[in-house]
Amino acid sequence: MNKQAEWKTGYQEKKAAILKGGAEKYHEKNMKKGKLFVRERLQLLFDDHLLAEDGMFANVMAGDLPADGSSPVLARSTGRRCA
């Protein structure tokens, strides 16, 4: 595998881990409390899908906490762009 392919694979793996929202234990804990992860709440708030998420990789080197706990996004709500 060449360097570009390795980088792309690593990028895709990290992005998938970030979008997952952390370890399964955090998902179970939130489910027991009746809470949603931030991206799940944003999906309920905005139309269709998020257009862009700034800072997705902000805490990627931390290991078990793949994002930094905030999700600044660009999206549409009732047809209007908002951030």
Give the domain ranges of the chain.
3-82
Q: Which residue has the higher pLDDT, 23 or 12?
A: 12
Q: What is the pLDDT of residues 48-69, one digit of tens each?
A: 777 777 777 777 777 666 566 6
Distance linking the first and last C-alpha atoms of the chain: 39
3 state SS of 52: strand
Q: What is the pLDDT of residues 10-19, one digit of tens each?
A: 889 888 887 8
CB atoms within 10 A of CB 50: 16
**Residue carrying the six token digits 């660009």:** 74
pTM value is 0.63
